[in-house]
Amino acid sequence: MDTQCDHKILDEILEKHQYNPGNIIAILQDTQEVYRYLPKDIFPYYSDRLGISQAQIFSIATFYENFSLEPKGKYVIKVCDGTACHVRKSAAILDQLRKELGLSSAKKTTGDLLFTVETVSCLGACGLAPTLTVNDQVMGMMTPQKVTDLLVTLREEKADAEM
Ligand code: FES
């Protein structure tokens, strides 16, 4: 699955950065903010508009771990697997999430593009271990039951937003 990019949106991003190839990282960041990942067709488009090769843009996109070339869910859940969280059974949190969502280490995003589940090494909130983030909002003292409740809340939030 891939997103067909709206060139008007891409042009607005380029304009904001004065079509400056030196701002390519910020351009990619803004693009990812819109699409939640970097769709394939931005590479030829930006290459053409900025006068740099697709390979150069692609190498920047793959170098920085914050950029994603795969579509991500509306809710990106990052489960901390740093030492403090690991000791406090973060694996059970991750297992519960994956079980409920039918995900695995190979399949990180649900087919409806609602959830992406990833792991991170430390969220800097070790005192609240085990922790996770939902779209960068930190949640601590997680348990498998809290994970189940969280998914119910997020699904309700999504349903409400569509009403
Ligand atoms: S180890 Fe999980 S927040 Fe630091």
- pLDDT digit string (tens) for the chain, length 163 residues: 456 788 999 999 999 999 999 999 999 999 999 998 999 999 999 999 999 999 999 999 999 988 999 999 999 999 999 999 999 999 999 999 999 999 999 999 999 999 999 999 999 999 999 999 999 899 999 999 999 999 999 999 888 887 7
Q: Which atom of ligand 1 is nearest to the CA of 122?
A: 4
Strand order in the sheet with 137-139: 115-120, 75-80, 132-134, 137-139
- For 163, the token pair is 């009403």
Residue 123 beta carbon below 6 angstroms from any ligand 1 atom: yes
- Model-level pTM? 0.79
pLDDT on residue 119: 95
Q: At what angle do helices 42-50 and 54-63 cross, to 10 degrees?
A: 120
pLDDT number for residue 4: 73
pLDDT, position 2:
53
CA of 102 to the centre of ligand 1 (A): 25
Question: How far is ligand 1, taken at its centre, from the CA of residue 153, in Å?
Answer: 24
Alpha-carbon distance of 26 to 147, in angstroms, equals 34
pLDDT for 159 equals 81
Distance 1 CA to ligand 1 centre (A): 34
What are the C-alpha distances in Å from 49 to residues 15, 90, 103? Answer: 10, 45, 38
Q: Which residue CA neighbors atom 1 of ligand 1 most closely?
A: 82
Query: Does ligand 1 lie within 6 Å of residue 84's CB atom?
Result: yes
Q: Compute the distance from residue 95 Cα to the ligand 1 centre, in Å.
A: 17
| pLDDT at site 141 | 97
